């Protein structure tokens, strides 16, 4: 296997640092004001509160079946994204794609890490749910979470964005499916009335930053760890589509370890000496 050069490693670390820095800055900028005072922060004015009020008022006229469908879809998007991740992992495992196997594992690690950070931020910011404090808003479609289950950032949006962005980076063709699913998951949390728009936006940016940083930093060394495991399972252990597919794929027969002689169709012919007369007995 080819090891990373110093420049490549430095570029990956710089990219990871930049991603985390941008994510942290975005979450800090979106965090609600008033967290320094006693009690939870209550966002009752501004663009986010107005947007929440408008969305919930529009949803108040939705039929009962639509309200139920939105509640189910709010959870279902996460299930679908999780199944896509498992499918990509299984497909990569069957093909012996070390990069695919390692990448899916790193997506899982990055998403769980983003979720843990989201929970920590919730305890630090302590923002009250909009379904309890926004004046003039219609009743939430979903049951309003209890006191202590704080609003900022949205865990659902964090999980959905982590899976969606990770899959889009690992398999760009899936971006057309995963990214809209993440957007739907985030919007549904506002539509059912349990989050502000800035809550879900913060969750999306947090997850995107963390998962991107994890993939950049840990996927190459994970590929080197996974390749021998795939080989031991009878897979070719090569990563497709990147710079890690340096090992030749052995033929699938019993002669894989035998040296192969070069093919030369003239190898068994005698070559006559070059000259005016051909050698032979004297007349």
- Predicted local confidence at residue 137, as pLDDT: 86
51 burial via Cβ count (<10 Å: 0-12, 13-18, 19+): middle
Q: Where is pLDDT greater, at 262 or 189?
A: 189
- Predicted local confidence at residue 242, as pLDDT: 41
Region 174-180: mean pLDDT is 97
Kindly report the average pLDDT of the chain as a whole number: 83
Region 75-100: mean pLDDT is 95
Can you list the positions of beta strands (E) in the chain? none
For the four alpha carbons of 223, 227, 233 and 234, in that order, the dihedral sign comes to positive
Q: Which long-range contacts (CB under 8 A, 24 or more apart) does 35-43 make?
A: 35/125, 35/126, 35/127, 40/126, 40/127, 40/128, 40/150, 41/125, 41/126, 41/127, 41/128, 41/152, 42/127, 42/128, 42/133, 43/127, 43/128, 43/130, 43/133, 43/134, 43/196, 43/198
**Residues facing 39 on adjacent strands:** none
Question: Binning pLDDT at 50, 70 and 90, where does residue 65 land?
Answer: confident
DSSP state of 33: S
Lowest mean pLDDT among 64-78, 133-147, 200-214, 259-273: 259-273
- Predicted local confidence at residue 216, as pLDDT: 95
- Predicted local confidence at residue 245, as pLDDT: 36
Region 62-75: mean pLDDT is 87
Q: Which of 6-15, 129-138, 200-209, 273-282 has the highest mean pLDDT?
A: 200-209
Residue 209: pLDDT over 90: yes
pTM: predicted TM-score of the whole model, two decimal places: 0.79
Residue 257: pLDDT over 50: no
Kindly state the tokens that stand for 224. 């080197």
Kindly state the tokens that stand for 143. 């049951």
- In angstroms, the CA 232 to CA 236 distance is 9
Region 50-77: mean pLDDT is 89
- Predicted local confidence at residue 37, as pLDDT: 56
Q: Where is pLDDT greater, at 41 or 163?
A: 163
- Predicted local confidence at residue 138, as pLDDT: 86
User: Which pLDDT tens digit goes with each residue over 215-256?
Assistant: 999 999 999 999 888 888 776 544 444 433 333 333 334 434
Question: Binning pLDDT at 50, 70 and 90, where does residue 64 land?
Answer: confident
User: Which pLDDT tens digit goes with each residue over 117-149?
Assistant: 999 999 999 999 999 999 888 888 888 998 889
Residue 213: pLDDT over 80: yes
């Amino acid at each position: 296997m080819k090891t990373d050069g110093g420049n490549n490693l430095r570029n990956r670390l710089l990219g990871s640092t930049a991603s985390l820095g941008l994510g942290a800055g975005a979450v800090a900028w979106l965090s609600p004001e008033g967290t320094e005072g006693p009690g939870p922060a209550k966002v009752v004015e501004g663009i986010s509160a107005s947007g929440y009020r408008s969305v919930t008022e529009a949803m108040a006229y939705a039929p009962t079946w639509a309200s139920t469908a939105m509640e189910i879809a709010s959870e279902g998007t996460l299930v679908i994204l999780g199944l896509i991740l498992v499918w990509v992992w299984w497909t990569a495992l069957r093909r012996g794609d070390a990069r695919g196997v390692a990448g899916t594992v790193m997506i899982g690690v990055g998403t769980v890490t983003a979720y843990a950070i989201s929970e920590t931020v919730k305890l630090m910011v302590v923002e009250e749910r909009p379904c309890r404090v926004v004046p003039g808003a219609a009743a939430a479609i979903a049951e309003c979470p209890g006191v202590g289950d704080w609003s900022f950032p949205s865990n659902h949006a964090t999980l959905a964005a982590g899976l969606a962005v990770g899959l889009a980076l690992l398999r760009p063709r899936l971006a057309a499916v995963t990214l809209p699913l993440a957007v739907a998951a985030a919007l549904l949390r506002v539509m059912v009335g349990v989050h502000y728009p800035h809550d879900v936006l913060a969750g999306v940016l947090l997850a995107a930053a963390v998962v991107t940083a994890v993939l950049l930093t840990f996927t190459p060394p994970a590929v080197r760890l996974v390749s021998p495991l795939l080989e031991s399972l009878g897979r070719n252990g090569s990563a497709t589509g990147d710079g890690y597919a340096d090992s030749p794929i052995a033929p699938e027969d019993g002669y894989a370890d035998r040296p192969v002689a070069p093919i030369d169709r003239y190898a068994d012919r005698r070559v006559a000496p070059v000259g005016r007369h051909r050698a032979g007995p004297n007349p």
